[in-house]
């Protein structure tokens, strides 16, 4: 069974631009969540989608948004990029997002904002 | 989610057992203990999780104390490839949709 796939693996953007990251969950998984990892803040929860609906959201500004499609694939968008948005963005999937379910992570998208 | 406390770093000799401790004294009855690890610039890898009983899988063993206030992850025969940051996470209750990562323990396996 294929794992969680994130594309692209690396991305370089300039301040003010926007970016879209993609995540394909493990087949059959309906919950997709996104995390940001930086050296200073560590791993932080962005949001979680389930059945095409954002179910929960972390403490990030509105520039960070996402969506989920009917096939459970998810995209994350960051608008008006800032230097501080440089980070590793990780996507994770699980069956239904319940507390006793494992989360499987992708390899991430390394975003650099210049 | 309950807060966890882990040592910042640990060393282990290759071939020996690595025992990684975690304190979670405020854990609730319905919260699970999860362990993940992360090798530099890769996504976190699931290792094991448990609620009350000790658990074992092909990667590791998880020992949870009877009062559930602490746990130990055991890698029975550490290899150089086990060098990574190990995260102990308590998950459940009202925020079951997410993992709250702390700073973790950097385990260095030495030859």
Cα separation, B83 vs B74, in Å, equals 14
Cβ pair B63, B56 in contact under 8 A: no
Mark yes or no for CB contact B46/A107 under 8 Å: no
- Which positions in chain A touch B98 (Cβ < 8 Å)? 33, 45, 48, 56, 58
> Whole-angstrom Cα distance, residue B80 to residue B12?
10
Model confidence at B95: pLDDT above 80: no
CA of A113, closest CA in chain B: separation in Å? 17
Residue B77: which pLDDT band, with cuts at 50, 70 and 90? very high
Strands A109-113 and A10-13: parallel
Mean pLDDT by 10 residues, chain A (114 residues): 92 97 97 94 92 92 97 97 97 91 95 97
Tracing tokens 């009877």 back to the chain, one arrives at B66
Q: Which residues from chain A sit within 8 angstroms of residue B46, using beta carbons?
A: 102-105
Are A111 and A89 in contact by the 8 Å Cβ rule? The answer is yes
CB < 8 Å to A97, chain B: 96-97
Mean pLDDT throughout B57-69? 96
- Inter-chain residue contact A99 with B98, CB threshold 8 Å: no
- Whether A32 and A93 have beta carbons less than 8 Å apart is answered as yes
Cβ atoms of B64 and B42 within 8 Å: the answer is no
């Amino acid at each position: 069974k294929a794992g969680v796939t994130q594309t692209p693996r690396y991305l370089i953007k300039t301040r003010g631009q926007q970016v879209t990251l993609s995540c394909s969950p493990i087949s059959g998984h309906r919950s997709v969540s996104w995390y940001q990892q930086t050296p200073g803040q560590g791993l932080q929860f962005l949001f979680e989608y389930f059945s095409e609906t954002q179910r929960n959201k972390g403490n990030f500004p509105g520039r960070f948004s996402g969506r989920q499609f009917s096939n459970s694939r998810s995209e994350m968008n960051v608008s008006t990029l800032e230097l501080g948005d440089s980070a590793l963005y990780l996507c994770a999937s699980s069956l239904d997002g319940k507390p006793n379910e494992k989360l499987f992570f992708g390899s991430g998208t390394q975003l650099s904002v210049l | 989610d309950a807060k966890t406390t882990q040592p910042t770093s640990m060393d282990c000799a290759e071939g020996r057992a690595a025992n990684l401790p975690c304190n979670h004294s405020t854990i609730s009855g319905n919260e699970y203990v999860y362990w993940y690890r992360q090798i530099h610039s890769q996504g976190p890898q699931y290792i094991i999780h448990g609620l009350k009983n000790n658990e074992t899988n092909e990667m590791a063993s998880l020992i949870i104390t009877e009062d559930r206030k602490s746990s130990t992850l055991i890698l029975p025969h550490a290899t150089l490839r086990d060098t990574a940051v190990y995260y102990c996470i308590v998950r459940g209750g009202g925020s079951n949709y997410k993992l709250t990562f702390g700073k973790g323990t950097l385990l260095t396996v030495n030859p």
